[in-house]
Every structure is written in C-alpha cells, then in structure tokens.
Amino acid sequence: MASTIYLGLVHYPIYNKRNEVIATAITNFDLHDISRTSRTYDIKRFFVIHPLESQTALARDILGYWREGGGGRYNPDRQEALSVLEVAPDIAAVIRRIEEAEGSSPIVVTTDARRYPNTVSYTGLRRRLEAGRQPCLLLFGTGWGMEKTLMAQFDYILEPIYGRGDYNHLPVRAAVAIILDRLLGSEWWLSRD
Amino acid sequence: MASTIYLGLVHYPIYNKRNEVIATAITNFDLHDISRTSRTYDIKRFFVIHPLESQTALARDILGYWREGGGGRYNPDRQEALSVLEVAPDIAAVIRRIEEAEGSSPIVVTTDARRYPNTVSYTGLRRRLEAGRQPCLLLFGTGWGMEKTLMAQFDYILEPIYGRGDYNHLPVRAAVAIILDRLLGSEWWLSRD
C-alpha cells in the first residue's frame, strides 16, 4: 500500500528577483496544467496555497466555471482534472486537512536548486513512498523560491533537477511533471530495452 | 558524442475533439514553457511549426519583444530560453534546416497514446541517442494529436506516458518535460539510493 500523495503550490512567503519576500499571483495556467499532471499521477489533492482572499476568490471562480459552469460541459476531461484542486490559506491548514483525511501527519518534502543537510534522492524518496508508512505532501514554490526559514522546516528537500548544460530555469509546471514522473511514474521503462 | 536533439511543436494537420483535421492556434504559454524546458535539456532548436503566416507572425512578435524589446532587459533568463525558438511552416522545412546544420538527416520520433509497430521504449531511444549516429527530431502534437497518415511517416513512436490510474490528458508542456527528462536527464538518480 503506497503513500497517499498531496501536492501544494506555495504563493507566500516567496522571494522575488530582488530577494524580497512577497506573495506571488495565482495564475490560471498553473491551476490547469498542474491539475492535469496531478490527475495523471493519481495525486489525492492539489492545494493552491495563498493567504489573500482576493486571490483565492479568483481560483474559486475558475473552479466554479469548470466544475458547475460551461467549462465542464465543453470539456469533461478538464472538469475531472480540476476536481483534484483545492484552495488553502497556508501550509499549516493543508497539513491539518491531510491529518483529518489520513489520520496521520504527512512527511513534507520540497525541492530546491541548492543542496541541504536533509537533501534526499529521487530513488530514496520513491522507496519510502512505496513503503507507504505516512502520507506525503510535496510542496512547490513559485517566483524565485520559498523563504529560507520556511524551507528549514520541511522534512526532506529533493535533489535539484539537472538537465544537460548550465541553464536551470524550468517552469514550475515542468518541474512538477518531471518530479511526479521520477517519483511515481511506471517504473518498467527504467529496466526495459 | 551524443546525438544533437531538435524539438518541433506541430500545429497542422491536427485532430480536434470531433476528429476533424484542423490547424491549432499558437499559444504564448507553449512558447515560453517549452523553450525553458528545451534550454534546460540542451535542445539545439525548438521549432514552432505552423503553415499560416498570421500565426507565425504572432510568434515572431513575441520573440521580438523578448529578444530585442523590453522583455530581455527585464528577464535575461527568459531571453536566453527563447533564443532556442524558431518558426517553420511545415515538418519538411524543419528537416531541411537540420540537414543543412548537421550534414545528415534526423531520425524523426514522436509520441502517442496508442502503440504502433514502430513503437520504441525510452531506454531504447536513450541508448540510440547516446550512440549519436544521427541527429534526432522529436515532434509533439497539439490538440487531439497529429493526423494519422502523417504519424505513419515517422521513424519511431515513443511509448505512451503511463502515470498512475486511468486519467491520461497531460498538457503537451508537461509531456515535453517528462519525455526530455526520460531521454536526456542526468542518469545518476536511476541507480543511486
């Protein structure tokens, strides 16, 4: 019985390009792309985390259109994808929701371009998720990354994604896709010719 | 010496949801996300393929803003990512451009949700790219996929991406990220604990 996986997209506290702590805006494209990728990899819920009611109201409007409005009739696949999405004001509220649903606290994991003392490999985390002792909350930052005292509170930090060459500015939507595939994708292709 | 890899995003001939053959619209988000992922995985060029001048003019306008206009000063990383992007009217023109640059024809590979007689595994194609005998053009469809007589002309079709569960509607931007990581990502994480 593998771990139940939850995803969170964090919009505060986030660094901007001048290293100031800000709240980033919720974007329509993140909601759609990350919901579709989440459904493909059987994520239990994808939380959009933002402290401002004006921003979460926007997310709820988009959800309403796809869940009850014209969007669902036009594209039922999209409606199904967005059924995974939920808004939350902060990470603590997300953890409480998971504790209520699962009866135990999740391990909290994120990713970063730097290495930390609690950095974990993809294979290592994959094995741990397959053992299934605890649910897992995978958090992704927006902007220029999550504020550093927040980063220090997580259980594990995944290894940076190395491509080829020295450019390292993947969209968060692409990072989510790659990381879910590394952690949860069908493993057969690793060993087959 | 590994193969040089080129990417193409095909907008015609494409099926819509009613199985009619159409040309899809170029979207700003595809250009940005796929350019950034392409640069991360050291793709030589990312071709946006569309037969209509009105659509490719839009792509050129976006490129101009980021290459020579205000965008490049605001965000040099984005300017660098978009330097990989080029527009082309059709797949034949892309193949000619690659032949001119490389002195040999590329193997042409795409992906599909179905299996074909020439379906190839990720490991198999990865080994072939590492052997480096020919350049490779990886094509991605938009909409509901490329028209079937076009599909029949390609050298290889990659295995479908299986996540977990039965939902299978990844955004093309996520499919590009996952496939480049499977084919070109640093391999160390496959064997390390």
Residue B189 has pLDDT above 60, yes or no: no
Q: What kind and span of H or E run contains A77?
A: helix A76-82
Q: From chain B, pick out residues whose CB is under 8 angstroms from the CB of A126.
A: none
Contact criterion met (CB < 8 Å) for A40 and B165 = yes
Nearest CA-CA distance, residue A14 and chain B, Å: 18
Task: Lowest mean pLDDT of B64-68, B93-97, B147-151, name the range.
Answer: B64-68
Residue B184 has pLDDT above 60, yes or no: yes
Question: What's residue A115's pLDDT?
Answer: 82
Edge-to-edge strand list for the sheet holding B107-111: B85-88, B45-49, B5-10, B136-141, B107-111, B156-158, B119-120
Residue A191 has pLDDT above 70, yes or no: no
Q: From chain B, pick out residues whose CB is under 8 angstroms from the CB of A182.
A: 181, 189
Determine the straight-line distance between the first and last CA of chain B, rounded to whole angstroms.
28
Question: What's residue A193's pLDDT?
Answer: 38
- Here the tokens at position B190 are 């496959």
Question: What's residue B44's pLDDT?
Answer: 96
Residue A164 has pLDDT above 70, yes or no: yes
Q: From chain A, pick out residues whose CB is under 8 angstroms from the CB of B144.
A: none
Of the candidates A159, A185, A189, the beta carbon closest to that of B163 is on: A185
Contact criterion met (CB < 8 Å) for B178 and A177 = yes
Each residue's pLDDT tens digit, A57-90: 988 988 888 888 788 888 888 888 888 999 999 9
Nearest CA-CA distance, residue A88 and chain B, Å: 24
Interface contact A64, partner B, CB < 8 A: no
Question: What's residue B79's pLDDT?
Answer: 85
d(CA B30, CA B112) in angstroms, rounded, equals: 19
d(CA B63, CA B57) in angstroms, rounded, equals: 10
What number of other Cβ atoms are within 10 A of residue A62's Cβ?
A: 18
Smallest CA–CA distance from B183 into chain A, residue: A163
Question: What's residue A109's pLDDT?
Answer: 97
3-state secondary structure chain B: CCCCEEEEEECCCEECCCCCEECCCCCHHHHHHHHHHHHHCCCCEEEEECCCHHHHHHHHHHHHHHHCCHHHHHCHHHHHHHCCEEEECCHHHHHHHHHHHHCCCCEEEEECCCCCCCEECHHHHHHHHHHCCCCEEEEEECCCCECHHHHCCCCEEECCCCCCCCCCCCCHHHHHHHHHHHHHCCCHHHHCC
Residue A132 has pLDDT above 80, yes or no: yes
Residue A48 amino acid letter = V
Counting residues of chain B whose pLDDT is more than 70, the rounded percentage is: 96
Each residue's pLDDT tens digit, A14-72: 999 999 999 999 999 999 999 999 999 999 999 999 999 999 998 898 888 888 878 88
Each residue's pLDDT tens digit, A173-189: 999 999 999 999 875 44
Interface contact A65, partner B, CB < 8 A: no
Contact criterion met (CB < 8 Å) for A185 and B174 = no
Smallest CA–CA distance from A30 into chain B, residue: B29
| Average pLDDT estimate for B151-158 | 95
Peptide bond into A13 cis (omega under 30): yes
A173 Cβ neighbours under 8 A, 6+ residues apart: A29, A30, A33, A34, A37, B33, B171, B173, B174, B177
Mutate to test the interface with A, among B189, B190, B191 (most CBs of A within 10 A): B189
CB pairs under 8 A between A and B: 151
**Domain regions of chain A by residue span:** 5-191
| Average pLDDT estimate for A133-161 | 94
Mutate to test the interface with A, among B35, B170, B172, B186 (most CBs of A within 10 A): B170
State the fold for domain B5-191: Alpha/beta knot (3.40.1280)
d(CA B171, CA A73) in angstroms, rounded, equals: 19
Each residue's pLDDT tens digit, B111-125: 987 788 899 999 899
Of the candidates B121, B162, B173, the beta carbon closest to that of A174 is on: B173
Question: What's residue B145's pLDDT?
Answer: 92
Question: What's residue B50's pLDDT?
Answer: 97
Q: Using 50, 70 and 90 to split pLDDT, how confident is the model at B57? A: very high
Interface contact A1, partner B, CB < 8 A: no
Contact criterion met (CB < 8 Å) for B40 and A177 = no
Considering only residues A150 and B192, tell me which one the structure prediction assigns the higher pLDDT.
Answer: A150
Residue A190 has pLDDT above 80, yes or no: no
Would you say how long chain A is, in residues? 193
Determine the straight-line distance between the first and last CA of chain A, rounded to whole angstroms.
28
Mean pLDDT of chain B: 90
Q: What is the pTM of this model?
A: 0.93
Each residue's pLDDT tens digit, B10-56: 999 999 999 999 999 999 999 999 999 999 999 999 999 999 999 99
Q: Using 50, 70 and 90 to split pLDDT, how confident is the model at B67? A: confident
A111 touches A179 (CB < 8 A): yes
Nearest CA-CA distance, residue B185 and chain A, Å: 5
Q: Using 50, 70 and 90 to split pLDDT, how confident is the model at B187? A: low
Interface contact B70, partner A, CB < 8 A: no
| Average pLDDT estimate for A103-108 | 96
Each residue's pLDDT tens digit, A85-104: 999 999 999 999 999 999 99
d(CA B46, CA B72) in angstroms, rounded, equals: 19
B95 Cβ neighbours under 8 A, 6+ residues apart: B105, B106, B108, B137
Q: Give the B window 118-137 contacts with A, CB below 8 Å.
A: 121-124, 127
